[in-house]
Amino acid sequence: MHSIVSRINNVSAFFTSCMMGLAVAIALSSFLFTAEPKGDLAILSVKTYPAKARRWHKANQELTFVNFNITGDLSPLFHWNTKQLFLYLQAEYGTATGVKNEVVIWDRIVRSKEKAVLDVVGKNKYPFRELSTSFRNIPAANYTLRYNVMPYLGVLTYGEAARTVEEIAFPELSEKV
């Protein structure tokens, strides 16, 4: 009555339907597990130095170096559906013309719950430059430690772990050492 090919087709279609239902249930259950990680962010120093721009040979540019201290416990973000965390330190500031800039100056990937307890003293990993080539006449900046939870199955979740209490002004240009 039914050939072996049609029976295999029916069994594989049923198996695929069950797997898709299980995947949807896992993805929806990720929204039930919400955690509030606790962290502390302290900006130790901000220094601005002159630098040569690589693209525009005649334009001078300024680089800013930020020394920071990050402590915190992000282990509550790890549960059975968390593959890894992407952490990044972001500087948020506005220009004189009203443009809001968000610049990532440091990042790290955390792959286990044991490594999610942070105690990092460091400086920016990426060059911190202003498009107008100068940090003069730019208001103070806020610094934020943000995270991105990457699950095995489901939607990426973004959040904020720590923020500086007050805005930190960009200093005057220092002499190159």
Q: 82 and 126: one domain?
A: yes
Q: 55 and 134: one domain?
A: yes
Task: Count the domains in the chain.
Answer: 2
User: Is 169 part of any domain?
Assistant: no
The CATH number linked to 61 is 2.60.40
What contacts 24+ positions apart, CB below 8 Å, involve 130-136?
130/61, 130/62, 130/64, 130/95, 130/101, 132/95, 133/53, 133/59, 133/60, 133/61, 133/62, 134/61, 134/62, 135/48, 135/62, 135/64, 135/170, 135/173, 136/173
Q: 102 and 152: one domain?
A: yes
User: Is 172 part of any domain?
Assistant: no
Q: 47 and 128: one domain?
A: yes
Q: 63 and 19: one domain?
A: no
Q: 28 and 39: one domain?
A: no
Q: 2 and 16: one domain?
A: yes
* pLDDT score, position 59: 67
User: Is 176 part of any domain?
Assistant: no
Q: 21 and 79: one domain?
A: no
* pLDDT score, position 147: 94
User: Is 40 part of any domain?
Assistant: yes
Q: 57 and 82: one domain?
A: yes
Q: Which residues contact 87 (CB under 8 A, 6 or more apart)?
A: 74, 107, 108, 109, 110, 118, 145, 146, 147, 148, 161
- Full pLDDT tens readout for the chain, 177 residues: 678 999 899 999 999 999 998 888 877 777 777 778 889 999 999 888 887 766 655 567 888 899 999 999 999 999 888 899 999 999 999 887 788 989 999 999 999 999 999 999 999 999 888 877 788 888 888 999 999 999 888 888 899 999 998 888 888 776 654
Q: 9 and 74: one domain?
A: no
Q: Give yes or no for a contact between 66 and 41, defined as CB atoms under 8 angstroms apart.
A: no
Q: 77 and 9: one domain?
A: no
User: Is 171 part of any domain?
Assistant: no
Which domain range does residue 15 map to?
1-32
Q: 73 and 99: one domain?
A: yes
* pLDDT score, position 69: 95
User: Is 82 part of any domain?
Assistant: yes
